[in-house]
């Protein structure tokens, strides 16, 4: 069966939960019109005889079907409450949006607006080198053969971007979902483009693609969140610019523990260098994703996160156990920031997240300096995990040991990484670290260790407290 990778159009048995292009339309359609349509449909199957109602069996069976048709007609005939248009078919899919009239833009509720206003950072993270202009592009395209209707969080992200620019003075944001916004003539006035949950073939003409590529080649910045990873998924060059494609995920209620890959990096200072739990729809991203091409800032910790919670849509487990959440990269002269966060609207009234978004935007605009050098998995996290293990002893949280084991495995994925990890672990064995830490290290040396470990382990045989763990490690080395 073909994997179902749609980031918002999900099949499922749950009743009372409408998703997809018409979800917002259904929610906003005049309920009175729906009731009237249902009443007409039901009356069509009910007759009268002798002054009383008479309902045939066939009519009773027809009523729900007719009602469904009437409801669908009501939805289709009503004025579109958002900018995405009805699905195009055949030749209409090419350039169809250019022939449609822009519809009313979705708005944020007063309650949500108040929360976003309170969460927006008070000042810029870097002084703008010149007045900056940001194009916030939220067009939706054809995805999996149908017009995608857009995430509910899109207006929240739009408002947050506008308010951040106004409040901090870092930039001026312009919102658009019109294909004409991605043209050579229009893009020349902007310093960066923010792709706000752009799902589907949003760059659907050669002219749009050429204009976007030229903009990036000339140093124009790119910001993307969540669904931007499936913006024109068949366009290989876009995936190379962004750093990944794909949208496999579990439920939007998935709770994950997020690692701060480099606590000193200017884009993630808002998190105080500490892992934290978060709930959103986390994407499992695919090719061309590679840590050799991007500088990962945030990632899911798969050791302490339940990676099997909820239903899976697509391929939810990676062979390398690497689940990035945010990164930056340099693409020629262009600066790129992407995060898979942003499915749920509450992301945009979280001050920490908005601070990271502001940092990412200012990085892409060219005002915030940050190291985008790709860093292999485990270079920093292994050191952090090993340092934590030097304080570990029997009876403490076993999750700490599992995290350490995970980082050892990742660090040892290359010959050079294994040698470096081995050398560092041997130093801990020769220190006054607790016995619990030494036992955990001996177990790992039994797996990745080499002849370099033998002198240290043989010395540990002379101590009754470390004899058993050292013998275990030596047995593992000899068995290789």
User: Would you give the distance in Å from CA 320 to the centre of its chain?
Assistant: 18
Same-domain status, 54 and 129: no
Among residues 332, 365, 398, the one where a domain terminates is 365
Tell me, what's the pLDDT at 61?
A: 40
Do residues 83 and 105 make contact, with C-beta atoms less than 8 angstroms apart? yes
Same-domain status, 241 and 350: yes
Residue 184 lies in a domain: yes
Same-domain status, 231 and 345: yes
Q: How many domains does the chain have?
A: 3
Do residues 347 and 286 make contact, with C-beta atoms less than 8 angstroms apart? no
What is the SS3 assignment for 437? helix
What is the SS3 assignment for 421? helix
Instruction: State how far the alpha carbon of 420 is from the alpha carbons of 407, 415, 454, 479, in Å.
Output: 13, 9, 16, 22
Euclidean distance between the first and the last CA atom of the chain, given in angstroms as a whole number: 41
Tell me, what's the pLDDT at 338?
A: 98
Same-domain status, 356 and 386: no
> Across-strand partners of 339?
225, 326
Give 186's contacts (C-beta < 8 A, 6+ positions apart). Answer: 135, 180
Same-domain status, 243 and 324: yes
Same-domain status, 120 and 69: no
Same-domain status, 297 and 332: yes
Residue 338 lies in a domain: yes
Residue 437 lies in a domain: yes
Residue 342 lies in a domain: yes
List, for the chain, all residue ranges whose pLDDT scores fall below the cut of 70: 1-104, 377-380
Residue 93 lies in a domain: no
Tell me, what's the pLDDT at 414?
A: 81
CA 290 – CA 336 distance, rounded (Å): 15
Do residues 112 and 188 make contact, with C-beta atoms less than 8 angstroms apart? no
Tell me, what's the pLDDT at 64?
A: 44
Same-domain status, 69 and 140: no
Q: Which domain holds residue 353?
A: 110-365
Q: Report phi then psi at 170, rounded to 5.
A: -75, -25
CA dihedral 477, 304, 152, 177 (to 10 degrees): -30
Tell me, what's the pLDDT at 7?
A: 47
Residue 339 lies in a domain: yes
Same-domain status, 193 and 304: yes
Helix ranges restricted to H, 56-200: 57-77, 110-119, 154-168, 184-187
Same-domain status, 53 and 139: no
Burial of 99 (0-12, 13-18, 19+ CB in 10 A): exposed
Among residues 333, 365, 397, the one where a domain terminates is 365
Residue 273 lies in a domain: yes
């Amino acid at each position: 069966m073909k994997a179902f990778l749609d980031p918002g159009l999900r099949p499922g048995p749950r009743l009372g939960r409408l998703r997809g292009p018409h979800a917002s339309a259904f929610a906003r359609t005049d309920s009175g019109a729906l009731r009237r349509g249902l009443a007409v449909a039901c009356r069509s199957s009910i007759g009268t005889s002798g002054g009383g109602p008479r309902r045939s069996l066939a009519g009773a069976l027809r009523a729900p079907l007719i009602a469904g048709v009437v409801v669908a007609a009501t939805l289709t005939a009503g004025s579109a409450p958002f900018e995405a248009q009805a699905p195009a078919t055949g030749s209409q899919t090419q350039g169809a949006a250019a022939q449609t009239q822009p519809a009313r833009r979705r708005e944020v509720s007063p309650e949500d607006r108040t929360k976003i206003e309170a969460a927006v950072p008070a000042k810029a993270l870097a002084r703008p080198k010149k007045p900056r202009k940001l194009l916030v592009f939220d067009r939706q395209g054809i995805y999996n053969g149908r017009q995608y209707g857009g995430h509910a969080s899109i207006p929240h992200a739009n408002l947050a971007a506008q308010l951040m620019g106004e409040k901090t003075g870092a930039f001026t944001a312009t919102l658009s979902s019109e294909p004409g916004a991605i043209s050579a003539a229009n893009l020349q006035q902007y310093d960066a483009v923010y792709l706000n949950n752009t799902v589907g073939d949003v760059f659907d003409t050669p002219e749009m693609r050429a204009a976007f590529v030229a903009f990036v080649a000339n140093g124009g910045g790119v910001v993307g969140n969540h669904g931007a990873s499936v913006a024109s998924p068949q366009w290989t060059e876009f995936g190379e610019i962004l750093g990944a494609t794909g949208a496999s995920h579990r439920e939007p209620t998935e709770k994950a523990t997020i690692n701060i890959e480099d606590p000193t990096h200017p884009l993630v200072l808002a998190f105080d260098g500490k892992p934290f739990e978060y709930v959103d729809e986390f994407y499992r991203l695919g090719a061309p994703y590679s840590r050799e091409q991007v500088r990962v800032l945030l990632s899911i910790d798969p050791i302490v996160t339940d990676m099997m919670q909820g239903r899976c849509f697509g391929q939810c487990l990676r062979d390398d156990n690497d689940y990035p959440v945010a990164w930056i990269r340099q693409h020629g002269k262009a600066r790129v920031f992407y995060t898979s966060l942003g499915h749920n609207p509450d992301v945009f009234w979280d001050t920490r997240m908005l601070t990271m978004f502001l940092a990412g935007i200012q990085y892409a605009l060219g005002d915030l300096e940050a190291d985008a050098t790709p860093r292999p998995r485990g270079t920093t996290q292994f050191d952090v995990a090993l340092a934590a293990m030097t304080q570990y002893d029997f009876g403490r949280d076993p999750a700490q040991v599992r995290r350490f084991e995970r980082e050892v495995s990742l660090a040892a994925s290359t010959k050079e990484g294994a040698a470096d990890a081995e050398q560092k672990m041997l130093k801990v064995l020769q220190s006054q670290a607790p016995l619990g830490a030494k036992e955990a290290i001996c177990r790992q040396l039994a797996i990745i260790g080499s002849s370099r470990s033998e002198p240290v382990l043989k010395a540990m045989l002379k101590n009754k407290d470390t004899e058993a763990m050292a013998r275990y490690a030596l047995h593992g080395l000899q068995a290789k």
